[in-house]
A and B are shown apart, each in its own frame.
Chain A
Amino acid sequence: MTQDGARPGSGFTGGDDDAGPASGLVLPGPARPGADEPVQLIDPSGVRHPHGHYDPLVADVDGAALQKLYEDMVVVRRIDAEATALQRQGELALWPPLLGQEAAQIGSGRALRSDDFVFSSYRENAVAYCRGVDLADILRVWRGNASSGWDPYTINMATPQVIIGAQTLHATGYAMGIINDGADSVAVTYFGDGATSQGDVNEAMVFAASYQAPVVFFCQNNHWAISEPVGLQAHVPIARRAPGFGIPSVRVDGNDVLACLAVTREALARARSGGGPTFIEAVTYRMGPHTTADDPTRYRDPNELEDWAARDPLARLATLLDSLGLLEADYTDAVKARADAVAAELREGCLSMPEPAPSDVFRHVYSAPHSELERQQDHYERYLSSFDQPAQEGHR
């Protein structure tokens, strides 16, 4: 079965106690039958199923906490919609939507501690939201105003990475530093299914295993690397690769926010206690385009989108909340108001963003003076200032 054929939740029958204490976990060694079945706590129809291994990891998630996770997902979906609108209105050059991946990002992002450090790709805006990013900072890069939106140390999240997979090595190196420091924080790296074909990701797993680095590899298998289906990247479930490097791995239903929270908590706990790296494959789906410049109708069967819409991460949590009597109108109205307020703040932050100065192009190339660059800057500034001076005879 190729990755294309893998379907989260398909054939899921409920509690998995019979499969052992850590169903879904793939330990180094021969693949176990059944281990490819993604961990799932809330099924697509919104039914909460018991799980012998993972339930204790989310025992503290009561109704109010579930409501908070729902609110997070509604807000980030609204951020996505607002940013897409801003791009269509010409205010952003580009936007990479995360539509459909809210549960994977919120579930994992809410498991992190503030002193953990995230190395992500460019699509993890919901993770940045969990880290407490100033909203307008999310748009800074896409508006073309800066090369990065935020100071990585203010939210302990690195500048989003555009080169596919490069950040997995940075996370591993950071985790090696954590070991040297004797700290118990964790480096977490996010990447997509396409990235798993890159050498960097594979080298990151070699290094992480060799040094038993406290790093969590969080792969969002969203089934498409621009127009290339995951089947082109992997002929077996991606999670199966990690044990070959000596790294335990787990497949999780990436549209199930509770399951994503549970498996990430387990991986973080393992890393903090000296247990080394973990690989998580969150099986999810990118419901929108790769970026706003993309046209998925050219390569994607509409039926596939319909299938995945039926597994929408927000809808299933809403159904669960409704069944628990936690989706009353006053609550949903408050969530909507919150999302609208965030969207308004995002729009205002985007439109009021100050334009960079021409000389900013020269700033921060080096941390110390650099003679050649200073010369170029000096020439260019004098050239620009010449436009401000009155024309003299002999000048053009």
Chain B
Amino acid sequence: MRRLFALLLAALLAVPAVALAAPTVEEMQKKIDELNEELAELSDRVDKTERHTATDRISWYGDLRVKADTLHYKDVTASQGVYFDFADFGQRAMAGEFSVPAATDPGDGSTTPLSKFMAAFPEQAAAFMAGALPPQGYFVVAPAEKSTINNDVLYTTRLRLGMKAKVSDNVNFSGRLSMYKNWGDSTGVKVFDSWNSFTMDGTNGGNTSGDWLRVERAYFDWKDIGGSDFYLSIGRRPSTYGPPSQYRENELRGGTPSGHLVHFNFDGITVGYHLSKLTGIEGQTVRFCYGQGFESEWGNGELFNEINTEDVHLGGFNIDALNDGTNFLQFTLFRAENVTDGFKGLIAFPSQFAQQMAPTMWNDLQNFPNFNFVTRVQPSTNIGDIMLGGIGFTREEMNGVNWFTSLAWTQTDPNGKAGLFGGLLSDPTYRAALVDDPSNPGEQMIVPAFTTTPSSDKKRDGYSVYAGIQIPAPLGKLGLEYNYGSKYWIPFTQAQDDLIGSKLATRGHVGEAYYIFDVNPNMFIKLGGIYYDYEYTGSGSPVGAPVKIADVQDGKASSMLPAVDTAWDGYASLTVKF
């Protein structure tokens, strides 16, 4: 600015006096004084701006999304039961363990645990006697019940506040605070009915939890370390909204790892190397990432180390093989060691479970059907390791068409252990046990008792495909997406904020269509729908055996949580970026 005025002044003085209609020296002096005054004022203003910029150390930006969803679940099946060791039961029955009558027996053996058991479950007993039951299999205690659930409208608000700060020339800080809530609820905890309802570290950014801001991301990037092409980044990672899931979000790449495999908040470390300067291939970067998913001692209920669990560690490679603004090719390979049978988190206990799992409380809970006790959950057992791998390719064509395809694989390697909710993709096995019969004092009865033996300890491979296209359309763009996950598909995408559940974690088929109206570059309206066709139970859960939805409906298998057959979510949202 000063330079500009100096030039202006010089030019003014250099102009021959005649050309300016012969101003007098006094007039010239007056003009110079005026200019000087203005210059002083401008300089003062610039100083203020400079001071503000220097002291305002964080630059903020963000977005606000308001959304209305209409949710429809079809054939939601309840089928209570356990995975039972029938062979063990048969052997022990043959040995007479369950045939001891009570002292009060009238002489017909009606008080033996076995006869009471057979009277309580006549169909299962007949099938068992006929040899129609496998050595181990599902013991469904009651006929399956189907229902349809409709939630005509569910409103949510998501606020994300991004932060950036420059620490030094090659060190930056980035962070994001996020709030995601459904309207009229800030309890921070939901009744446990699915993975989505768990308020926990890795997924609470993607599940409605209340009106408070959570630190979704906070990390630093230390680039060009020692003049090399290495960078180091530590903190709460940018591990959500990764490619290719940014297209449906109508934003730029929202995270580092493949969004098809990882959409989960991790605390960890990344060491990256920008290969592009060596190879000349634009945007080529190799990264090694490490993170911790569970701390086994600190803050847990192990006053004397009674619960013997190991920490959960994750590590792997994330390679952008090509990232030139048009083509993007990414390879991902991760391993999670010593995965636990759940996470630390908060749930409200479903009263429906109390009868089976907390019978003492059940009596009291009858008086308060609308009360759920809130409890902190922590895992009890390490159940094995998970490998995840994937290849993703996206292309942004010159004509505005964007398309992508991604192939991913997961492999579970159980260690032969199971917690209360199961082992790695397996259920806990229950054995027959004798307990005192509360209804008939002096008598005993058979109940299924939990064991730490999983229903299976086999390695399981799961795979998934994800493809989509976004094409320019009047006033915006039209998008179509499809994904499929197989029986044993288990990615870390549970923090995807789809209300029915992470669509990419689905064991089955999912289709989505949407239309985005770009109101202006900082504002858009999105209308769309997602259709889920589940083939197996337990989408997104590493714990519990996936079983065919059809088998749950037919009473051949049980499912602890409601098994959804198909569901659709129609939505309209308005997003503003600022």
B partners with A: no
Chain A contact residues, CB within 8 Å of chain B:
none
Chain B contact residues, CB within 8 Å of chain A:
none
